[in-house]
Amino acid sequence: EPEVTQTPSHQVTQMGQEVILRCVPISNHLYFYWYRQILGQKVEFLVSFYNNEISEKSEIFDDQFSVERPDGSNFTLKIRSTKLEDSAMYFCASRRTGDEGYTFGSGTRLTVV
Amino acid sequence: AQTVTQSQPEMSVQEAETVTLSCTYDTSESDYYLFWYKQPPSRQMILVIRQEAYKQQNATENRFSVNFQKAAKSFSLKISDSQLGDAAMYFCAILDGNYQLIWGAGTKLIIKP
């Protein structure tokens, strides 16, 4: 069964450093998302991406965050200058059409120290 | 704004028994999609079951079924013949008009052997 692949599975970074979280969505999917889940809290929407541009973003997705789909397969989330409160599980998701469930990746656990 | 409420932070069930996880939601949309996702200790997000609001018939996937009450805005998940591998966090979610998932806080399901 097709999968959404996220790398790395766990990343530790120092506060203030830039991180790039990588995702390979399912190949025929058109809509891409990043969500995050701080330990013990709700899953939160960060951003949606369609047709090579951001379609929606939440208040969390401030200027420190950016997304890119540079080569038609990878979908990346960059955090420019990480803060301690960015520590969370980051999930990439994709879907093909509007009425299908999302397929989630296994997540990247980001720890900012 | 759409909201999803899971009023049971934790539920436990004896192996092989049946358990029902509750979820209520609020939306002004007439057509929408509802989902249950499972998050095992690995923290991967796995789709369990989905329901289209325009369909009156309750969705079923093997041991998992829903009781969808559109007028009451209720979407409970029933797990029959509970197995140890069912132990996980279960999240209810609604797909909003912008095709973003709005999540409940989750219910931790414990399976007693």
Asked if A49 has any chain B CB less than 8 Å from its own CB, the reply is: no
Residues of chain A found within 8 Å of residue B46, distances taken between Cβ atoms? 104
Q: Is the pLDDT of residue B76 over 90?
A: yes
A54: confidence class by pLDDT, cuts 50, 70, 90: very high
Q: Å from A52 to nearest chain B CA?
A: 17
Distance, CA of A95 to CA of A101 (rounded, Å): 7
Contact A75, A92 (CB under 8 A): yes
Supply the pLDDT for residue A69: 93
Q: Could you give the angle at the alpha carbon of B45 between the alpha carbons of B41 and B47, nearest 5°?
A: 125
Domain positions in chain A are: 5-9+16-91
Of residues B107 and B55, the one with the higher pLDDT is B107
Structure confidence by residue, pLDDT tens digits, B26-69: 988 888 889 999 988 877 788 899 998 888 899 999 999 999 99
Q: What is the mean pLDDT of residues B82-100?
A: 88
Asked if A40 has any chain B CB less than 8 Å from its own CB, the reply is: no
Q: Å from A50 to nearest chain B CA?
A: 11
How many alpha carbons lie under 13 Å from residue A65 in its C-beta half-sphere?
A: 21
A5: confidence class by pLDDT, cuts 50, 70, 90: very high
Of residues A73 and B25, the one with the higher pLDDT is B25
Give the three-state DSSP class for B8: coil
How many alpha carbons lie under 13 Å from residue A44 in its C-beta half-sphere?
A: 15
Structure confidence by residue, pLDDT tens digits, A74-105: 999 999 999 999 999 999 999 887 666 788 89
Contacting residues for A6 by C-beta, under 8 A, at least 6 apart: A21, A22, A23, A24, A90, A91, A92, A105, A106, A107, A108
Q: Tell me which residue of A3, A6, A2 sits closest to A90, measured CA to CA.
A: A6
Q: Å from B43 to nearest chain A CA?
A: 7
Contacting residues for B47 by C-beta, under 8 A, at least 6 apart: A101, A102, A103, A104, B35, B36, B37, B38
Q: Tell me which residue of A92, A96, A104, A98 sits closest to A29, measured CA to CA.
A: A96
User: Hey, which residues does A23 pair with through a beta bridge?
Assistant: A6, A75
A1: confidence class by pLDDT, cuts 50, 70, 90: confident
Asked if A42 has any chain B CB less than 8 Å from its own CB, the reply is: yes
Instruction: Please name the CATH architecture into which domain A5-9+16-91 falls.
Output: Sandwich (2.60)
Q: What is the 3-state secondary structure (H, E, C) of A52-92?
A: CEEEEECCCCCCCEEEECCCCCCEEEEECCCCHHHCEEEEE
Structural domains of chain B sorted by starting position, each given as residue range(s) with its CATH number in brackets: 3-112 (2.60.40.10)
